[in-house]
């Protein structure tokens, strides 16, 4: 389909990680989701094929790097390579959740800076551009030598709290650790609320220790803001810390609901009122009682439209 002002067709395809989000994005744009096939052979090799012409098209491939991460990463690389081989004019990798963003520095001897490696792989496969959302480490942006657009879910989260919390004027935004203060501060200013943060120490990949709370949460509704929830260990520790400090209720909103291992059970057993996450990762089905989903499809649709039209996307970054 040709959008106004352009002479190249816009085509959007989805890998297997989050086709529901891809369909929601194409519905917002009023175009069909492109047809493609992915198969896995008996020897565990993947096979991908586009079922329509891509010649001189502006191609966007939507794929979150969720479990199984390496299958989804390999599928994305193969789709990019296949699109370039099919004479696509431009290929944009749309990666709503970039999981390796945590591996962004050499903080131990003899390890890989895997975020940089993934950036190199995407560029070698032929990606001309990358579109993502809320990187755990913004410096990953600098690993790419191609244009990268980094969207924020802040407006979506702010709207969620504004519509879901009845007594918002008695709430406080909470950063679950010092590294999240900047993100939480932006949200607090947007909602015109005070800010607090928890001083914590990470003991291992799945264990954290809360060392103190900075800010007043007594008799307040605590609104935890974070980039993702994985095993929910950090989240539950934060909830316990806030309730022990006198918080009346605790809610959380995150960009990426990864929910691995014991996460769902921990959330259901905890005293937290609700955990909301965007649909950058495919939500669990059926959706547990305490989980809520915020859609970012309109944001991605608008970003794709602007990139296709050659318009600025910078105002979507905040």
pLDDT band at 148 (very low <50, low <70, confident <90, very high): very high
| For range 305-318, the mean pLDDT | 87
Split at pLDDT 50, 70, 90, the class of 199 is confident
What beta strand segments (E) does 176-258 contain?
Answer: 195-202, 208-214, 221-229, 249-257
Tens of pLDDT, residues 241-272:
999 999 999 999 999 999 999 999 999 999 99
* The pLDDT of residue 205: 54
Phi, psi dihedral angles at 45 (to 5 degrees) = -80, 145
Look at residue 145 and tell me whether its pLDDT is greater than 80. Answer: yes
Average pLDDT for 125-142: 91
20 is in an annotated binding site: no
Q: In sequence order, what are the residues at sequence separation of 6 or more whose Cβ sits closer than 8 angstroms to the Cβ of residue 232?
A: 259, 262, 263, 264, 266, 267, 270
- Residue with more model confidence, 5 or 117: 117
CA 130 to CA 93: how far, in whole Å?
Answer: 5
Q: Which are the contacts of 170, defined by CB distance < 8 A and separation ≥ 6?
A: 219, 220, 221, 248
Residue 193 has pLDDT above 90, yes or no: yes
pTM for the full predicted model: 0.93
18 is in an annotated binding site: no
Of the candidates 172, 187, 162, 153, the residue with the CA atom closest to the CA atom of residue 279:
153
41 to each of 38, 46, 69, how far by Cα in Å? 10, 6, 18
Question: Which listed residue (40, 145, 182, 200) is catalytic?
Answer: 200
pLDDT at 4 over 50: no
Q: Is 44 known as a binding-site position? A: yes
Mean pLDDT of the chain: 92
The answer to the question of whether 177 is labelled as a binding residue is: yes
pLDDT of residue 314: 84
Q: Over range 135-146, report the average pLDDT.
A: 87
Q: Which helix (H) or strand (E) holds 48?
A: strand 46-50
pLDDT in tens, 30-84: 999 999 999 999 999 999 999 999 999 999 999 999 999 999 999 999 999 999 9
Q: Is 279 annotated as a binding residue?
A: no
SS3 85: helix
Residue 106 a catalytic site member:
no
Whether pLDDT at 203 is above 60: no
Q: Model confidence at 133, in pLDDT bands (50, 70, 90)?
A: very high
Instruction: Band the pLDDT of 7: cuts 50, 70, 90.
Output: confident
Average pLDDT, stretch 117-128?
Answer: 97
Residue 1: pLDDT over 80: no
What domains sit in the chain, N to C, each tagged with a CATH number?
Answer: 10-152+297-316 (3.40.50.2020), 154-294 (3.40.50.2020)
């Amino acid at each position: 389909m040709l959008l106004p002002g352009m002479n190249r067709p816009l085509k959007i395809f989805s890998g297997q990680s989050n086709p529901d989000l891809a369909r929601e994005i194409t519905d917002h744009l009023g175009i069909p989701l492109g047809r493609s096939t992915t198969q896995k052979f008996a020897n565990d090799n993947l096979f991908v094929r586009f079922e329509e012409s891509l010649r001189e098209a502006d191609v966007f491939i939507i794929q979150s790097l969720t479990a199984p991460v390496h299958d989804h990463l390999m599928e994305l690389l193969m789709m990019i390579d296949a699109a370039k081989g099919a004479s696509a004019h431009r290929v944009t990798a749309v990666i709503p959740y970039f999981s390796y963003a945590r591996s962004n520095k050499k903080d131990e001897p003899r390890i890989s800076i895997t975020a940089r490696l993934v950036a190199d792989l995407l560029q070698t496969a032929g990606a001309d551009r990358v579109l993502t959302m809320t990187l755990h480490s913004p410096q990953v942006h600098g690993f790419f030598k191609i244009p990268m657009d980094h969207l924020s879910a802040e407006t979506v989260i702010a709207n969620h709290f504004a519509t879901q919390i009845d007594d918002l004027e008695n709430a406080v935004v909470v950063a679950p650790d010092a590294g999240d203060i900047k993100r939480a501060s932006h949200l607090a200013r947007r909602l015109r609320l005070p800010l607090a943060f928890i001083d914590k120490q990470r003991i291992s990949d799945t264990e954290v220790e809360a060392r103190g709370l900075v800010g007043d949460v007594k008799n307040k509704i605590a609104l935890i803001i974070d980039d993702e929830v994985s095993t929910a260990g950090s989240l539950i520790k934060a909830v316990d810390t806030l309730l022990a400090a006198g918080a009346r209720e605790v809610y959380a909103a995150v960009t990426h609901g990864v929910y691995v291992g014991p996460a769902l059970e921990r959330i259901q057993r905890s005293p937290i009122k609700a955990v909301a996450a965007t649909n950058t990762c495919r939500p669990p089905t059926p959706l547990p009682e305490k989980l809520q989903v915020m859609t970012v499809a309109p944001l991605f649709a608008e970003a794709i439209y602007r990139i296709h039209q050659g318009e600025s996307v910078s105002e979507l970054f905040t």
